[in-house]
Structure formats: structure tokens, C-alpha cells
């Protein structure tokens, strides 16, 4: 590996999955302004929308996502470009 290209400022950071409130701690160089207390220790906090504990690929469970409104909106928006036969 090349020397001097990797960050030196790794520290323990708490990552919180906002969809299910799961928190895990790992090393990171990500900057953050928020903190969270986990088991009596305060860590910098990075908020995630999805992680290994909530993603359907890892959990084996699927979530029903209501996308009908978005699909209908898309179809209505581009209906005027549809070729007429």
C-alpha cells in the first residue's frame, strides 16, 4: 500500500439506524456535530436511514413501500409524450 494516503484520525463513532433505533459502534473518520451516550460513554453520532439491521436483503423480510402515488405521478407527467398510434 502507498504510504501517507490513508487518514490517521480514526475514532470510535456510533451509527444509529433511524428506522429501527439500532445503534452500533465502529471506527470512522466521518465528521459529525451530534453525540450519543451508549453504555455510559459518549460517542460522536452518525444517523443512517438504513443499515444491516433494517435492510430487507440482510433481514430476509420485505417491507411494503407505497409507491403507487409516485408511479401515477410519473405516468401522468409523461403521458403527453406517449406516441399515438
| DSSP helix/strand/coil, 73 | helix
pTM exceeding the 0.95 threshold for the entire prediction: no
Q: Percentage of the chain with pLDDT > 90?
A: 35
For all residues of the chain together, what is the average pLDDT?
Answer: 81
Residue 79 CB partners (closer than 8 Å, separation 6+): none
pLDDT, one tens digit per residue, over 16-57 is 988 888 899 999 998 999 999 999 999 999 998 888 777 666
Q: In what order do the strands lie in the sheet with 35-38?
A: 22-28, 11-17, 41-48, 35-38
Amino acid at each position: 500500500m502507498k504510504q501517507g494516503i490513508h487518514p490517521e484520525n480514526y475514532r470510535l463513532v456510533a451509527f444509529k439506524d433511524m428506522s429501527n433505533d439500532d445503534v452500533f459502534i465502529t471506527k470512522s473518520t466521518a465528521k459529525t456535530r451530534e453525540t450519543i451516550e451508549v453504555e455510559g460513554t459518549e460517542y460522536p453520532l452518525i444517523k443512517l436511514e438504513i443499515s444491516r439491521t433494517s435492510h430487507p436483503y440482510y433481514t430476509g423480510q420485505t417491507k411494503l413501500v407505497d409507491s403507487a402515488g409516485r408511479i401515477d405521478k410519473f405516468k401522468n407527467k409523461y403521458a403527453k409524450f406517449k406516441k399515438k398510434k
